[in-house]
Amino acid sequence: MEDIRDIYAEIAELRAELAYCIMTRKERRDTQLRLDQALTEAKRRQRAAEGA
């Protein structure tokens, strides 16, 4: 269960960075990619938890 909280903390942090930090286009693109990957992982973990 701890892992799920960690992924949601990461998602919140990435969203805050995108919303409030001044970044280059490359940094913004990389951060958005990390956010997309984290959201995908959170969905995967949620499905796995529901199936268990």
Distances, alpha carbon 28 to alpha carbons 3, 43, 51, in Å: 25, 22, 35
pLDDT digits (tens, 9 = 90+) for 4-43: 679 999 999 999 999 999 999 999 999 999 999 999 999 9
pLDDT confidence bin for 52, thresholds 50/70/90: low
pLDDT of 2 over the 60 cut: no
Q: Where are the domains of the chain?
A: 2-51
For the chain, the maximum distance between any two Cα atoms, rounded to a whole number of angstroms, is 42
pTM given for the model: 0.85
pLDDT confidence bin for 51, thresholds 50/70/90: confident
In whole angstroms, give the CA distance from residue 46 to residue 16.
22
